[in-house]
Structure 1
């Protein structure tokens, strides 16, 4: 859930709570007002009756003359919807009610039931009529429950409409204001996404809020540190590959000069022993020939190792011929169940020695990985150099390789390719295709030879 939505939901919840409290307060206040008006009516009618009694005689007040004139005077001091009852000694019981039709349509049944359950709008209030210090009669005032409920309903409608409009307005304006205040968060997230994608040169601008400024400052500091760390790691990786190539060349030279010469001498000695063996000792000739065969196999293995440590033809015949020779060697001595194919687009002759060596090493590792782990029947190597000096090395196979397994692999093949391409500032990916697996490496050629590997 987004922060804006979470805050908006909280604002709506607070607005609903305030709305419910406003409704409860309106109903409660209406009930108190009804009770106050009933009590006030009882007091006013009691005073009016006291005045009538004191101004006239007993026969005048309690007898037949107490009709319309007295009733109108009493109703005039009554609140709408209130009824009063009193009993005169001579005139008998009287009940007068004040009209309330001006309140409008009656309340719905459900509201009347709820209002009557929670409150008692028709509770009677009694007041004595005091004349000459003695209570002559009692006035009983009650509020019509229908009038009280209708009054509460109409007041509630007005207040609820106003409260709902205010709550909705406050909620909308609050969401807009908070959305505007949180707008920098989207820019910060976009900046962090750029950092995730490796754009360490991007920086976040200054914001008008102190908190967002602190976050932006921390993100910019992190980007600067990542840029510095990445540059240092790239330089270290390049240096490691330079040292690796130096060691490979030195090891290849030592193997060729020492081990190769020893194998050559061993083969010559075995041939000499086989030819000089006495006629009566065929076993010596057989042993000498066996030593020669073992020596030949060791010499072939040594040649393959020397080709992997340092391809001698790369400096002599160029990258394209070296790649074709490598693919031919895989077809001849590699996995018998797989056929290796090579496509070259663009001119590879103009590449700097370091870029040519990088292409050769990447292709070498990719083909080795495909031959050993994919179980493919066809492995297709595609090397391209575009006019904008972008170099692409792509290996497609029809095997059952899994990109997730390769990503989690602890082997040095894929990891070495990834580190090499990363040090060159390029991109590397392993994806599943409709036919099988694709390993793709891309980087730009060094126009000035700035990435030249150290030679032995």
Structure 2
């Protein structure tokens, strides 16, 4: 999952949790505000009743009387204004058949769902009654008792939730959208970093990166630049080391060719001479000896032919001595005489002046690919195509294709010495090797920059 989507999903979860917490807080606060409204209503009514007592001058006898009578007429519109909605107030001592005076509960909103009423009553419990004494100086005139209507209290809490939830939901959506846009904008440079890393994987060691405003992204950009420098340095060192190893291997091959030519060649020549002498001496006297001598001569001749082929592969390639074009022509002619499949050579461009490491690498690749096609496939035709591409990106393109079938994936994973050596040679001159399927077989292609 993309990082932007992960962050947005986590942000949405946090917003939902905050919205749920705000809803719970509004519910509790609305429910508890009823208790505060109950206490305030009782206090306001008690103060109004006390003022009524003094205004009507009902204290007509000794102030130490137990009760002050008569009770003033307190059930008026002015008193109703002092009672909060959903609160009922009762005065004690009450008169006969007196009912509590309740605040106007109409207009509090729609009735809440049953599950909400049951949940609130179960968790938060019932509202407690509030009693406020009415004192006229030192004499108790009575008590004002206020209690909340349970249905009105829950209805008020539900209305508060509906009013607050809409605003909270709109704010949550706005915060989520704006934060998502901010996250997407902040992580947008990550695509540039990923693209730069992909170009580095393809061989571009110093990809261009924009200037990042974020300190963390700037640090990542610097790290990518340092990584590119180290990769370039490592590739240069590897190319130099590979070139040195190839030079050492070529020197060893030439030394081995000299040893084989000087030691094995001379000894085989001597054996061949001895066998010829024995065959000449045995004629007319012992046919079996002459026959054995002829067999020795044939075996030595076969060994000398094999030795010449080995020496031709170990010595300096013809491309280094005669040039790439002449070397490829001689190579294909040599394989054409010794092999069953037809070898078709296709040359494009001026190859006469291509010499040095590029010529040797191209020659060795063609030699190895032709050898593999002849040894490991049943190809009837092998095509060797060499093209010189001119222009700013001048390079040498080599392609060897056969019709002998085979698995390209298995060949790519092969750890054979021949293919490994070709990869090393091409990498040493800054080229690239590609192995893939062809129409009826395999295709091995290489691109070698002539700047090498």
After TM superposition, the score normalised by the length of structure 2 is 0.83
What is the deviation of 1:28? 1.2
Equivalent residues in 2 for 1:118-133, closer than 5 Å: 118-120=123-125, 123-127=128-132
SS at match of 1:70: coil
Q: Is the alpha carbon distance of 1:379 and 1:386 closer, same or farther for their aligned partners in structure 2, counting shifts above 3 Å?
A: same
What is the deviation of 1:285? 0.5
Deviations 1:354-389 (A, max 9, x none): 433221100111222333445555443322223344
Which residue number corresponds to residue 345 of structure 1? 348
Deviations 1:110-136 (A, max 9, x none): 444443343346554445556786767
Kindly indicate whether the alpha-carbon contact (under 8 Å) linking 1:82 and 1:97 is maintained by their aligned counterparts in 2.
yes
Comparing 116-125 and 165-174, the one that deviates more: 116-125
What is the deviation of 1:81? 1.7
Which residue number corresponds to residue 216 of structure 2? 211
Deviations 1:154-199 (A, max 9, x none): 3223322332333333333333334444444333333332322222
Kindly indicate whether the alpha-carbon contact (under 8 Å) linking 1:373 and 1:401 is maintained by their aligned counterparts in 2.
no
Q: Is the alpha carbon distance of 1:325 and 1:74 closer, same or farther for their aligned partners in structure 2, counting shifts above 3 Å?
A: same
Which residue number corresponds to residue 390 of structure 2? 387
SS at match of 1:306: helix
Give the count of matched residue pairs: 441
Unpaired runs of 5+ in structure 1? 452-456
Which residue number corresponds to residue 449 of structure 2? 444
Which residue number corresponds to residue 223 of structure 1? 228
Q: Is the alpha carbon distance of 1:92 and 1:60 closer, same or farther for their aligned partners in structure 2, counting shifts above 3 Å?
A: farther
Which residue number corresponds to residue 28 of structure 2? 28
Q: Is the alpha carbon distance of 1:90 and 1:273 closer, same or farther for their aligned partners in structure 2, counting shifts above 3 Å?
A: closer
Q: Is the alpha carbon distance of 1:53 and 1:384 closer, same or farther for their aligned partners in structure 2, counting shifts above 3 Å?
A: same
Alignment partners' CA distance in 2, 1:218 and 1:426: 27
SS at match of 2:107: helix
Alignment partners' CA distance in 2, 1:384 and 1:157: 78
Alignment partners' CA distance in 1, 2:350 and 2:234: 35
Equivalent residues in 2 for 1:273-284, closer than 5 Å: 273-284=278-289
SS at match of 1:442: strand
Q: Is the alpha carbon distance of 1:288 and 1:312 closer, same or farther for their aligned partners in structure 2, counting shifts above 3 Å?
A: farther
How large is the RMSD of aligned CA atoms in angstroms? Answer: 3.4
Kindly indicate whether the alpha-carbon contact (under 8 Å) linking 1:53 and 1:61 is maintained by their aligned counterparts in 2.
no
Which residue number corresponds to residue 37 of structure 1? 37
Unpaired runs of 5+ in structure 2? 60-66
Kindly indicate whether the alpha-carbon contact (under 8 Å) linking 1:392 and 1:443 is maintained by their aligned counterparts in 2.
yes
What is the deviation of 1:280? 2.4
Alignment partners' CA distance in 1, 2:284 and 2:377: 53
What is the deviation of 1:422? 0.8
Which residue number corresponds to residue 424 of structure 2? 419
Equivalent residues in 2 for 1:268-347, closer than 5 Å: 268-310=273-315, 314=319, 319-334=324-339, 340-347=343-350
Alignment partners' CA distance in 2, 1:234 and 1:293: 46
After TM superposition, the score normalised by the length of structure 1 is 0.83
